[in-house]
Amino acid sequence: MSLRVLVGCKRVIDYAVKIRVRPDKLGVVTDGVKHSMNPFDEIAIEEAVRLKEKKIAKEVVAVSCGPTQAQETIRTALAMGADRGIHVEIPAKEMEKLEPLHVSKILAKLAEQEQAELVIVGKQAIDDDSNATAQMTAALLDWPQATFASKLEKTDGELEVTREVDGGLETIKVKLPAVVSSDLRLNEPRYATLPNIMKAKKKKIAKMKPSDLGVNLASHLEVIEVVDPPTREAGIKVEDVDTLVTKLKDSGRI
Amino acid sequence: MTFSRMVRQAYSLPAWRQLCFKPMYPGVRQQQTAATLGDVAGMQVSPLTVLSPEEEMMKDAVAKFASEQIAPLVSKMDGEGHIDEKVLKGMFENGFMGVEVGEEYGGCGSTFFISNLVIEELAKVDASISVTCDIQNTLINTLLINLGTQDQKNKYLPKLATEYTGSFCLSEVESGSDAFAMKTTAKRDGNNYIINGSKMWISSAPLSGIFLVMANAEPSAGYKGITCFLVDAGTPGLSIGKKEDKLGLRASSTCVVHFDNVVVPEENILGKFGHGYKYAIGMLNEGRIGIGAQMVGLAQGCLDATIPYLLQRKQFGRTIFDFQAMQHAVANLATEIEAARLLVYNAARLKEAGQPFIKQGAMAKLYSSEVATRVTSKCIELMGGVGFTKDYPIEKFYRDCKIGTIYEGTSHIQLNTIAKIIGQEYSS
């Protein structure tokens, strides 16, 4: 049994970059800032490629929604071992208003078109931390979902997935086709080696627009304000527990 | 004469077109146009520091590996005096050691410019790792790719790309800048040559699987007897001698290598008999661009490690970066590094475009190695007392940079080369 796996990978601001709020307070500065693939999506790609190496998957298709630069993200996925890519072109201006629901609709449509039996995405993107795309995609497809996966095994026609939940670990079985979202400890992504980056040049990236998939990008959400978290203040030392309790009460903490 | 005509005369258009117009990926050509300044007489002109998407990807891949896998081990490797096994293995696995080697031999099939980017990124983290990579790519691999017979390429290129380092043996105790005064001989014996002598300053000697040995096979012909021999590690008579206890680049092993009646079949001559001197000079002309890249990376890495400290350290109620003298110092250093980088990048692009590049390559190596010494020395001062301790990485950059003005052609040799070419330019 050989699956086609669809993997979503998002181009986000690199995790090491110091984020700056835009002067208009409606977003963060992205111009000239280093971007890379969402780390959880790297884990998703890695898992898909490992499935192919275990001969469980026959093809890994990497999808990214975004402006031209999203192709760099797809190229990274191809260099890690994905077979081909799909770039859903969304101009930079519209990217700001892109919501998990839009992406889910796109992924669902592509999963049907490509006849994928497994969709893997990162559990959340490190820019918006929505943690919604996997779940919505599953709902739109009416497929089972296994989110926060830290271990993935294939049994006959099913997946056995260990999930990281608040209380610990939960192991579930889901029937294929299914949607999985990858958590941190699922695997350690490989480096895109230089020879593989060169080989990835020959792999195909198909281009399409959301309208080609019948997806409308009308907004349902409006960003009111983006502000920095409050700057961390210095702590103070107190002599005894009573003073501590008084100070906590005074500042409204308890 | 119109500007376009001048430009077209300066750069052979076919070569330039090949460089700029070859689409790296489908659709990327459009992006390159957007990034360039626009058409100049039908030629695409681009800022030197704007890289193609492919070059950016390769550079980022190296930077990632360097910061995650090499950086944590830099101190340890410097202290122990050798490259960590895992790091070396990682460099081979990630393709850093065979950038220009063809895919058919297990290499990347990539470009000279990208080799320089790899060398530069590695040097930002560890100059010893960078030089190991530089020698492999710009000296060893290049010699084999350009001069090797198909058999020699089949035998050695796959190993050089994926398994072991090669060592380039030219200098001796009595011959450094005066390379042709070498005393190592290769005496003909039937279908073999017997090599006798000692080579000095041989990098990676204990690790290497192959040695490219310059020996004089016809001393009566003077330097025109110098021939390049491929000698496998473990050949009887080849022994690794004393390892140098160096000021810097300590993780890169530099040793004496002895040749005691080493028998080498004549099939192991690389290129033509008696042409070794030409090859040595030719390769060093290219190799020094790589050293330029190493020095630029080293200087940049040093400055990158210094500035955050300046922005954080407070004296007299403000950060020391607040003081104008500090700002001026940093601005000067950054300007010098940028200038050195442009020299290196342009020399590399010229070589790739098939244009004359020897003068520019010499300028690149000369300037960037001198910039590296100025930057590292100044950075120690800017850091104050802590810059003088091993707790901070600055002192290592300072120690590592010094060899830059010495190896692969001393600064004096570079000046000679540049002046000679200028003399020719004005005489013809």
Q: How confident is the model at residue A1 (pLDDT cuts 50, 70, 90)?
A: low
Residue A210: count of CB within 10 angstroms of its CB: 20
Using N-to-C axis directions, what is the helix angle for B85-93 and B127-134, rounded to 10°? 50
Q: Copy the structure tokens of residue A149.
A: 């996966």
Closest CB to B95 among A68, A195, A201: A195
Please report, as a single letter, which amino acid is at residue B427.
Answer: S
Report pLDDT for B428: 72
Name every chain B residue with its beta carbon within 8 A of the beta carbon of A71: 25, 27-28, 53
Per-residue pLDDT for A141 more than 70?
Answer: yes
Report which of residues A170 and B26 the model is more confident about.
A170
Q: Do A194 and B103 touch (CB under 8 A)?
A: no
Q: Which residues contact B85 (CB under 8 A, 6 or more apart)?
A: none
- Nearest CA to B252 out of B351, B117, B91, B129 is that of B129
Residues contacting residue B322 through CB under 8 Å, at least 6 positions apart: none
**A171 - beta bridge partners?**
A162
Give the model's confidence band at A156: pLDDT under 50 very low, under 70 low, under 90 confident, else very high.
confident
- Please give the distance of CA B224 from its chain centroid, rounded to a whole number: 27
A241 compared with A235, residue with greater pLDDT: A241
Statement: residue A68 has pLDDT above 70: yes
Is A201–B54 a contact, with Cβ atoms under 8 angstroms apart?
Answer: yes
Which residues of chain B fall short of a pLDDT of 50? 1, 3-4, 6-41
Tokens of A85: 């890519």
Which has more confidence, A157 or B204?
B204
Q: What is the pLDDT of residue A212?
A: 95
Residue with the bigger pLDDT between A22 and A1: it is A22
User: What is the interface size between A and B, counted as CB pairs within 8 Å?
Assistant: 64
How far apart CA A170 and CA A185 sit, in angstroms, is 14
- Read out DSSP for B7-74? HHHHS-HHHHHHHHHS-SSTTHHHHHHHHS-EEETTEEE--TTPPPHHHHHHHHHHHHHIIIIIGGGH
The reported pLDDT for the residue numbered A2 is 82
Compute CA distances A138 → A182, B7, B88, whole Å: 14, 59, 44
CA-based nearest distance B308→chain A, Å? 13
Q: What is the pLDDT of residue A254?
A: 82
Computed over every residue of chain B, the mean pLDDT equals 91
In this predicted model, what pLDDT tens digit does every residue of B373-394 receive, in sequence order?
Answer: 999 999 999 999 999 999 999 9
Contacts of A68 in chain B (CB under 8 A): 27, 30-31
Q: Average pLDDT of chain A?
A: 95
Nearest CA in chain B to A73: B57
* pLDDT value of position B18: 40
- The structural domains of chain A, ordered by start, are 3-250 (3.40.50.620)
The pLDDT value recorded for residue B32 is 38
Kindly report which listed range (A90-99, A160-169, B162-171) carries the lowest average pLDDT score. Answer: A90-99
- Strand A11-13 to strand A3-8: parallel, antiparallel, or no bridges (unpaired)? unpaired
Does B94 sit within 8 Å of A194, measured CB to CB? yes
